[in-house]
Amino acid sequence: MYAMPQPVRRSSTAQTMSTSEKTRIVGTAVPRKEGVDKLLGRARYLDDIEREGMWYGATVRSSIPRGLIRSIGFDRRIDWTEFTVVTVADIPGRNHIQLINADQPVLADGMVNHCEEAIVLLAHPDKHKLREAVDAVNVEYEPLMPVLTIEESERQETIVWGADNILKSFLLEKGDVDAAWAQAAHIVEGEYRTGAQEHLYIENNGVIAEWSEGNGITVWGSLQCPYYVHKSLLAVLDLPEDKVRAIQTETGGAFGGKEDYPSTLASHAALLAMKSGHVVKMTYDRMEDLAATTKRHPSRVRHRTALDGDGKLLAMDIEVATDGGAYTTLSSTVLSRATLHSPGPYVCPNVRVSSKAWATNTVPYGAFRGFGAPQAIFAIERHMDEIAAAIGMDPVEVRRRNFLHDGDTTATEQVMREPVILDKLLDRALTESDYYERQKRFAQENQTRAVKRGLGIAAFYHGAGFTGSGERYLNSLAGIDVTPEGRVRVLVANTEFGQGTNTILSQIAAESIGIDYDDVEMAPVDTNVVPNSGPTVASRTSMVVGKLIERAGLQLVGTLRERAGLREEFTREEFFAACERLREEDGAVISLCRYEAPAGIFWDDQKYRGEAYPAFAWSVQVAQVAVDTTTYSAEVEEFWSVQEVGRVLHPVLAGGQIEGGIAQGIGYALYEKVVWKDGRMANNQMTNYIMPTAEDVPPIHVYFEEIPCRFGGFGAKGIGELPHDGPAPAILNGIRDAIGVGFNAIPLLPEDLFAQLVTQESKAEVSAV
């Protein structure tokens, strides 16, 4: 466990001012910190690590969605003495993963609640012997009726979780929705659905665990949140804090998929390591990773909206339902974000959002880039176009008339204190995409062509950082130290998995201290070395952790000035000399900062009211879509994304985040379908779960409007999740623009387009008769 060192005494001159105006390093395209290692192929991902005498682990999983375990048999054809076998009886501590609710067993205890639930763990020195052994464990079940959809769960005829199948519910109310209908000039209703989405990081989940009496358990893993893993291992193995250590290895993509799941996998590997006495590696192959690990929550959102004669919103009545799967994992916080993003970036005096996460007997859904927001934004942004059609107004104009501005309040009565520049973002998006000119041209061309083109728009915000009081509870600690070898290290538990954590935090440290980027490196993400600066989720790294590092840098320089004779202006040599003088006195050179909630921020968890997020990132996206009415295929031809994410810390990385998120959003809309068969993912291969390739992703144009945010590191807000929120509604709005038919569910594959268009045609024929 990280032992808190004596922090540098707070210095009076170490003001936490933002030095965001003129910067040398922040805002420039310095090379990615770990870039050279990645390009040379020498970055060490989990599966690249071999240890002397290492064993391999595998998992026996449930083949049914719900039932009682009658017996577990071990086929005699296997010599089981060669294996280490772990069942629930071998768990020394609690049989529960420690997330929001501790309801998810590490290993099934007498009952399974979803397909692929782990029942037995096996380890053997030869990994090739494991597959046959897994097949030779015979689990007999007494099947129980499963609940597989939101609707089945809502019926509450079969209760599979708690007293009522409800994992979590929220009610958000502003004004008086019920009184508004009578005054409405228009009332528009709609129902919108989104499917599960797989993260499809190219590196599958993997962990190595090592046990020794003296050191306890150490796990290395491809993971986002080492302190989440740490917390679960403490409970599952019943160990004291100093006997549990979690270390992140180079991580080949995560997108939320390595937020909660590694706690389960690490527990499994740790149990095998403890019982076998060997180092144990567990890596999933693609099929196991797709079938057994978390995905994006499917959703159903219903809107009922009242508008006045000018197209201004009078009331929004919104019902959000998500499928949470068999256990809570992060469903409550995902639902919270969905709730808070469901009214969109609009002003409305009367809002009610009633939301529920329903338990079903599927693999638990978990965190995925956007965390509930893409689902909610798909619904509201598709709904805005249906509103526009219903009242006969341009979808652009409906949005413009209802946009939030400075001083307005959101559905939670949060006052927009920071500048809101939605109009500017919208104008830029229209100009850059030559929106109206193109639309005019398409309308003409579409009359005579089988391939019909259209443009679709989406406007949205994404709350940066944890929701509500989340950051206050997290109470993150982060900092900077200087080693005797003259290296400045950033001390955070925040992980790099492609988004650029290492680079931007090093930039911030170098900038705030006033040294070179090359003098800064990241301390290893090891719970014995770095403090708990919170999880790497919720677009919080650049904003929240970045601010802590900015403060830590200023604090360090302040202390060096006060106590080690550092002059106002200093050279690199003078800086390190001063560090050595401080080291002589204190024994170490370290500057830690703890999160401080911005003043005047208030959130009421009970009433669901107040400042939902310290800051919002804003975006307007435009999709140009082509629908081939002979093959029923839809394709995105070009994409524009304009956003305000505070200060852009690194133009290349920021652009890459936006483009990567858009590509995933395009997949979410048009390609990526999880096919279910009796509660199990049937297409758990890359051959049949299809993501966009280099040939599918269209030209993407990215533009930033920068307004430094006072809460963020050098003015940055969150960026990573925002771009995934908009593509799906923008694309489906584009399809509506192209062919005049609104589709309300994603993924929208050619067969879905075909099904709805053909039904509509036949309906039209019937009514024409």
Q: Which two tokens stand for residue 536?
A: 């790497």
Q: Give least dist CB 660 to ligand FES, A.
A: 8
**Which CB sits closer to ligand FES, 245 or 295?**
295
Q: Give least dist CB 190 to other proteins, A.
A: 30
Residues 439-498 that bind other proteins (CB under 8 A): 497-498
**Which CB sits closer to other proteins, 42 or 440?**
42
Ordered alpha helix ranges (H), 14-71: 35-40
Q: Give least dist CB 31 to other proteins, A.
A: 6
CA–CA separation, 495 vs 202, rounded Å? 17
Q: Which of 655, 703, 704, 710 binds other proteins (CB under 8 A)?
A: 655
CA–CA separation, 637 vs 738, rounded Å? 13
The answer to whether 656 contacts ligand FES (rule: CB under 6 A) is no
Rg (CA), the chain: 27
**Which CB sits closer to ligand FES, 250 or 611?**
250
> What would the x/- binding string for other proteins be over residues 668 to 707, using CB under 8 A?
-----------------xxx---x-xxx-x-xx-------
**Which CB sits closer to other proteins, 693 or 759?**
693
CB atoms near residue 94 (< 10 Å): 16
> What would the x/- binding string for other proteins be over residues 1 to 20, using CB under 8 A?
--------------------
CA–CA separation, 320 vs 301, rounded Å? 5
CA–CA separation, 228 vs 330, rounded Å? 12
Q: Which of 202, 694, 766, 769 binds ligand FES (CB under 6 A)?
A: 202
Instruction: Tell me which of other proteins, ligand FES, none is bound by residue 361, counting a contact when its beta carbon lies within the kind-specific cut-off of 5 to 8 angstroms.
Output: none
Note the Cα 185 to chain centre separation in Å. 39
Residues contacting 142, CB < 8 A, separation 6+ = 67, 68, 70
Cβ-count burial of 662 within 10 angstroms (0-12 exposed, 13-18 middle, 19+ buried)? buried
Instruction: Tell me which of other proteins, ligand FES, none is bound by residue 652, counting a contact when its beta carbon lies within the kind-specific cut-off of 5 to 8 angstroms.
Output: other proteins
Q: Look-up: residue for tokens 């519910």?
A: 169
Residues 42-81 that bind other proteins (CB under 8 A): 42-45, 47-48, 50
For β-strands 55-61 and 118-124, DSSP reports them as antiparallel
Closest CA to 494 of 535, 548, 540, 539: 535
**Which CB sits closer to other proteins, 97 or 722?**
722
Q: Give least dist CB 206 to ligand FES, A.
A: 14
The answer to whether 163 contacts ligand FES (rule: CB under 6 A) is no
CA–CA separation, 369 vs 722, rounded Å? 8
**Which CB sits closer to ligand FES, 202 or 766?**
202
**Which CB sits closer to other proteins, 451 or 691?**
691
CA–CA separation, 764 vs 758, rounded Å? 10
The answer to whether 694 contacts ligand FES (rule: CB under 6 A) is no
Q: Give least dist CB 253 to ligand FES, A.
A: 5
Instruction: Tell me which of other proteins, ligand FES, none is bound by residue 293, counting a contact when its beta carbon lies within the kind-specific cut-off of 5 to 8 angstroms.
Output: none
CA–CA separation, 199 vs 197, rounded Å? 7
CA–CA separation, 118 vs 332, rounded Å? 23
**Which CB sits closer to other proteins, 114 or 296?**
296
Closest CA to 726 of 437, 427, 426, 496: 426
**Which CB sits closer to other proteins, 293 or 467?**
293
Q: Which of 21, 213, 285, 573 binds other proteins (CB under 8 A)?
A: 285
Closest residue to ligand FES: CB criterion: 202
**Which CB sits closer to ligand FES, 448 or 687?**
687
**Which CB sits closer to ligand FES, 456 or 500?**
500
Axis-axis angle for helices 651-670, 727-739 (nearest 10): 50
Q: Give least dist CB 248 to ligand FES, A.
A: 16
CB of 746 within 8 A of CB of 668?
Answer: yes
Q: Which two tokens stand for residue 631?
A: 């093959």
The answer to whether 725 contacts other proteins (rule: CB under 8 A) is no
What Cα–Cα distance (Å) separates residue 302 from each residue in 68, 305, 319, 476, 673?
36, 10, 5, 37, 22
Ordered alpha helix ranges (H), 319-393: 331-341, 373-391
**Which CB sits closer to other proteins, 43 or 136?**
43
**Which CB sits closer to other proteins, 204 or 539?**
204
> What is the DSSP code (8-state) at residue 452?
E
Q: Report the half-sphere exposure of 365 (CA within 13 A, side-chain side).
A: 32
DSSP per residue over 577-606, as a string?
A: HHHHHHHHHHSSEEEEEE--PPTT--EETT
Q: Give least dist CB 691 to ligand FES, A.
A: 10
Residues contacting 155, CB < 8 A, separation 6+ = none
Planar angle of CA 604, 609, 613, nearest 5 degrees: 90
Q: Which of 65, 221, 470, 498 binds ligand FES (CB under 6 A)?
A: 498
> What would the x/- binding string for ligand FES be over residues 606 to 645, using CB under 6 A?
----------------------------------------
Q: Give least dist CB 51 to ligand FES, A.
A: 23
Q: Which of 2, 18, 23, 32 binds other proteins (CB under 8 A)?
A: 32
Cβ-count burial of 340 within 10 angstroms (0-12 exposed, 13-18 middle, 19+ buried)? buried
Residues 146-205 that bind other proteins (CB under 8 A): 199-204
Q: Which of 389, 597, 652, 757 binds other proteins (CB under 8 A)?
A: 652
CB of 495 within 8 A of CB of 763?
Answer: no
The answer to whether 662 contacts other proteins (rule: CB under 8 A) is yes
CA–CA separation, 721 vs 284, rounded Å? 26
The answer to whether 253 contacts other proteins (rule: CB under 8 A) is yes
Instruction: Tell me which of other proteins, ligand FES, none is bound by residue 400, counting a contact when its beta carbon lies within the kind-specific cut-off of 5 to 8 angstroms.
Output: none
CA–CA separation, 103 vs 171, rounded Å? 23
Report residue 711: phi and psi, to 5°: -90, -10
Instruction: Tell me which of ligand FES, other proteins, none is bound by residue 740, counting a contact when its beta carbon lies within the kind-specific cut-off of 5 to 8 angstroms.
Output: none
**Which CB sits closer to ligand FES, 33 or 168?**
33
Cα dihedral 309, 310, 316, 322, rounded to 10, equals 120
- At 289, the amino acid letter reads D
Cβ-count burial of 466 within 10 angstroms (0-12 exposed, 13-18 middle, 19+ buried)? buried
Q: Which of 41, 240, 309, 407 binds other proteins (CB under 8 A)?
A: 41
Q: Give least dist CB 624 to other proteins, A.
A: 16
Instruction: Tell me which of other proteins, ligand FES, none is bound by residue 266, counting a contact when its beta carbon lies within the kind-specific cut-off of 5 to 8 angstroms.
Output: none
> What is the DSSP code (8-state) at residue 394?
-
Q: Give least dist CB 498 to ligand FES, A.
A: 5
Question: Residue 761 in 3-state DSSP?
Answer: helix
The answer to whether 35 contacts other proteins (rule: CB under 8 A) is yes
The answer to whether 253 contacts ligand FES (rule: CB under 6 A) is yes
Instruction: Tell me which of ligand FES, other proteins, none is bound by residue 44, counting a contact when its beta carbon lies within the kind-specific cut-off of 5 to 8 angstroms.
Output: other proteins
**Bridge partner list, 639:** 623, 700
The answer to whether 726 contacts other proteins (rule: CB under 8 A) is no
- Cis ω for the linkage preceding 747 (within 30 of 0): yes
> What would the x/- binding string for other proteins be over residues 499 to 538, using CB under 8 A?
xx--------------------------------------
Give the interface with other proteins as residue ranges (CB under 8 A): 29, 31-32, 34-45, 47-48, 50, 199-204, 250-255, 285-286, 497-500, 652-653, 655-656, 659-664, 685-687, 691, 693-695, 697, 699-700
Give the interface with ligand FES as residue ranges (CB under 6 A): 202, 253, 498
